[in-house]
A and B are shown apart, each in its own frame.
Chain A
Amino acid sequence: MYLLPHTILNAANRYPDKEAFRFGDTALTYTELVNQSHQLAHCLLELGVQRGDRIGIYLNRCLETAVAVYGIMSAGAAFVPLDPYAPPARTQFVIQDCGIEHVISNKNQEKNLKKILTQNLDVKSVISPFGVNWGEGFLAFCASLNIRTFTQRNLQELSHTKPDTRTLEDDLAYIMYTSGTTGTPKGIMHTHRSGLAYAKLSADLYDVQPTDRLGNHAALHFDISTMGYFTMPYANGTTVIVPDIHTKLPASMAQLIEKEQLTIWYSVPLALTQLLQSGIVESRDFSAIRWVLYGGEPFPVKHLRALIKAMPNARFSNVYGPAEVNQCTYYNFSKLSEKYTTIPLGKVWGNTEILIHNENDEAVKTNETGELLVRSATQMKGYWGRPDLTEKGFYKRQRIDGCEEIFYRTGDLVKMCEQGNLHFLGRKDRQVKIRGYRVELDEVEAVLIAHEAIGEAAVFALKNEDEAHIKAVVKLKKDIEASTLKSYLSKRLSSYAVPNDIKFVQKIPRTSAEKIDYKILRRDAINRVSTA
């Protein structure tokens, strides 16, 4: 087993009729998943797709995502998840940036697709793996742009056989786009090797069995989803895709966890906090849950304690790792003594080495703070089309001639304590997490400053107990309403990156070096809140 699609072939051999993915009242067995993904792969190959080509997946949480992921990889191509909730301009940027010519989508996305697909893009076809017809209006729209459309009806005529694409484990498997410091998103390139290494390591660490049923809460463009899409097929288990609607309505989500008898849950902490606050946790039976994994941001300990009480049979795991390495540490626990105020990042997992360096790239001692560097089998190949950023993101050393060791610079400040647990202390640059999503404050600032009415802008984050809020302070060149500015931002940034409030000022505080003084900004903002 050296390619990600080998996982479903292997599972289909052992458990042909086992549910691979479930979504609401519908499901795909491993055999169905293999057959349908092969048909999609043949469709792509007939369209001229070559090994390493990037294929977009423009879908919300649904069963088609599984066919899309495995169909694209079976054709030797790389899948690129596109967030259907992102502003059209951002999606267009990604499509253009990595040269996407074919998009897997479905009828639900017709309205959005009409906003995204324009003459300027090279998109040649849109494929819906399920359903037999696109709407009349959409077909006419695609025809006017010379975009070909395909549905399940077209795919059904194609072969079930495995295409031979001569793909190697080191070839590109998927690209995940994330917020970049320069104001544009950057694509993290992962290979079959890095994806499969993650599947193996996570299946081992959490002892994932064929009987396990994982609740996949994360959208496909978020790396937390790789456990549902890679690890479960590797372990021959079942992934239950949590529908978008349930992620918005925690009381419904609690019903789903019970009804589907989920044994593993993996999400950002916020989803679990909302679950607790739904007020119906006590009346639900969560006894089937044996693992609760969370990642993306720290879990407020207060809520964590309440969750442990609500799920007494579960073990918990604090998962840490930037999307560039997927996961690199874990801290597993089933109880929390009173002494905990934060949860450690924990231990380094298998096939992985870490370094903790100071500003001069020298190793620091135990209990000293430094930047975390990671070398892992799960590591990315680099950033798509940005060798400059890739070079900057890596630290290389040669201990033996001809054998280069490449570490990813996480930008996270950590320390190692005497017990061998790693602790998170903050970000080196100005990246913050909003509801688990990475936001570069500098990107938000860059977008604000790009507006013609704005002279200067400073963006910073304030943390209260549960979550971070993005605040912006701007100095205007000409009059503009805050609401106009907000709608300008929401067209260019993901909704979670748009500042919660924008304040107009005459002067932005600066340090003696003329740098924006974020310390003063934060202090003033806190004072405003406390005197309000």
Chain B
Amino acid sequence: MTNTITTYIEKEILNSPDTQLTDQDDLLGSGLVDSMGLMRIIAFIEEEFGIAVPPTDMVIEHFMNIEAISNYVLKRQTIDG
């Protein structure tokens, strides 16, 4: 799952193809991902992993880095599933 998310962000969200992300890279604070990018990431994980992200879950703790996103998707899958 982590790989899928990393590949998507590297290929579709970041505009420089040579950038390689680690699981802990700060996506939001560093400006790597802008607000449109974040909305696209949310749409992607909803589609790809069959979850729904309610607005109340759209907080920094869930989207700060790839590790956080993966953990959130897992948590959401247990709730929705």
Contacts and interface: CB of A to CB of B under 8 A. Distances in A.
Interface of A: 60, 84-85, 108-109, 111-112, 115, 243-252, 255, 277-280, 490, 495
A318 to B, nearest CB: 24
A84 B15 CA distance: 13
A255 B31 CA distance: 21
B46 interface: no
B55 A279 contact: yes
B79 interface: no
Contacts of B19: 111
A277 B57 CA distance: 12
A37 B31 CA distance: 25
B59 A252 contact: yes
B56 A279 contact: yes
A495 B57 contact: no
8 contacts: A108-B31, A109-B31, A112-B31, A245-B29, A249-B38, A251-B55, A255-B59, A278-B58
B35 interface: yes
Interface in B60-81: 60, 63-64
Size category, B interface? 20 to 34
A248 B60 CA distance: 9
Given A115-B16, A245-B64, A278 B31 contact: no
Contact of B58 (A85, A244, A250): A250
B41 to A, nearest CB: 10
A112 B28 CA distance: 15
A112 B58 CA distance: 26
B34 A245 contact: no
A251 B29 contact: no
Nearest to B57: A251
A451 B19 CA distance: 27
B29 A277 contact: no
Given A115-B16, A245-B28, A490-B15, A280 B34 contact: no
Contacts of B36: 495
A346 to B, nearest CB: 30
A244 B16 contact: no
Interface string B26-55: 001111001110100000000000000011
A247 B34 CA distance: 10
Contacts of B60: 245-246, 249, 252
Nearest to B56: A279
Contacts of A278: 55-56, 58
Contacts of B63: 249
Contacts of A495: 34, 36
Contacts of A244: 28-29, 31
Given A115-B16, A248-B38, A84 B31 contact: yes
B45 to A, nearest CB: 15
Contacts of B64: 245
B60 to A, nearest CB: 5
Contacts of A277: 55
Contact of A251 (B15, B34, B38, B58): B58
A334 B50 CA distance: 43
B29 A108 contact: yes
Given A115-B16, A247-B35, A490-B15, A108 B56 contact: no
Contacts of A249: 28, 38, 58-60, 63
Nearest to B61: A252
A273 B16 CA distance: 32
Contacts of B30: 108
Contacts of A250: 55, 58
Closest 10 CB pairs of A and B: A245-B28, A248-B35, A279-B55, A279-B56, A278-B55, A252-B59, A252-B60, A251-B59, A248-B38, A249-B58
A250 B39 CA distance: 12
Given A250-B58, A279-B56, 8 more contacts: A84-B31, A85-B31, A111-B16, A115-B16, A245-B28, A245-B64, A278-B55, A495-B34
B42 to A, nearest CB: 10
Contact of B56 (A85, A246, A247, A280): A280
A217 to B, nearest CB: 12
A275 to B, nearest CB: 10
Query: Of A111, A112, A245, which is in contact with the most chain B CB atoms at under 10 Å from its CB?
Result: A245
A284 to B, nearest CB: 11
Nearest to A496: B36
A108 B28 CA distance: 11
Contacts of B35: 247-248
Interface string B1-32: 00000000000000110010000000011110
A220 to B, nearest CB: 13
